[in-house]
Chains A and B, each alone.
Chain A
């Protein structure tokens, strides 16, 4: 097998050459939204970050219902757990059982450190569980790491043709 990795423009990091990563943030707290949006902007890597406030709205977004008729399928989703209407756990269960959406990586970013939540989230096949650090600087750093990791290190699944 060839060991030539000609596609590495930067050492080590995989580059999603032809697409700007589309990210969907599911978060109801405006302070969190602001902080995460700012952290995503501070980068040479271009990303599109869209924000929705709860699980139900996210399903509308993914299914392009109503005002989301023109929505673009996300490359990955950053999900808070405690949300109004449909919470993160219910949403996770729903999306991972739908053929069209189950391959979209879900990164759970939550302040919950309870054993119960962590076990449940893993059992529901979340792709990643990250605890929000309680200090501001740590929080920003963590968001930047998520951004860089999921946009440059990981190879994302190809876009499902039905929703792309």
Chain B
């Protein structure tokens, strides 16, 4: 059997979040991870799609290993971004984590149907973010590391 080729680079994460405070909390929580992470943050859905398609000022960015997506955002909301990502053959394999303050059944249902990998309600404070990030790291970042560089190019 093929042995996994663990990637020798940090994981690229795209954070799509309009709220500055939440972005800071997420960033701080990721800094606590053992896995090195490169976090790029965009402020709305339109910017997210520009960066994923490497358009304009995002010409040089890498395709992320993971997308962290807020739902309620100006211009283009999270659900629209999710649907665009999952219907674009170059992007559809990127795991998408929805991180939102919405707890509506409708939002949960819509995002799972649109193939989000999972849905998480934003913790109330930094300790909460740390707590959640421990799981995200153990369950997620570790398995993402088995993806190879060739897969991303």
Identify the A interface with B (CB < 8 A): 1-3, 5, 7-8, 11-14, 102-103, 105, 112-116, 118-119, 122-123, 125, 127-131, 142, 145-146, 148-150, 153-158
Residue on A nearest B113 in the bound complex, by CB? A103
Q: Is the CB of B5 within 8 A of A8?
A: no
Residue on B nearest A124 in the bound complex, by CB? B93
B9-17, B32-40, B56-64, B133-141 - the one binding chain A: B133-141
Q: Is the CB of B118 within 8 A of A14?
A: no
A-B contact count (CB 8 A): 111
Residue from A1, A5, A123, A130 within 8 A of B123 (CB atoms) = A5
Residue on A nearest B144 in the bound complex, by CB? A129
Contacts of A130 in B (CB 8 A): 139, 143
Contacts of A3 in B (CB 8 A): 101, 124
Q: Is the CB of B123 within 8 A of A12?
A: yes
> Contacts A113-B3, A131-B146, A149-B135 given: A154-B124 contact, CB under 8 Å?
no
Contacts of A118 in B (CB 8 A): 146-147
Q: Is the CB of B5 within 8 A of A115?
A: yes
Cα distance A116–B2 in the bound complex, in angstroms: 9
Q: Is the CB of A148 within 8 A of B135?
A: yes
Residue from A13, A122, A154 within 8 A of B131 (CB atoms) = A13
Cα distance A102–B1 in the bound complex, in angstroms: 31
Cα distance A11–B134 in the bound complex, in angstroms: 14
Cα distance A102–B4 in the bound complex, in angstroms: 29
Contacts of A5 in B (CB 8 A): 101, 121-124
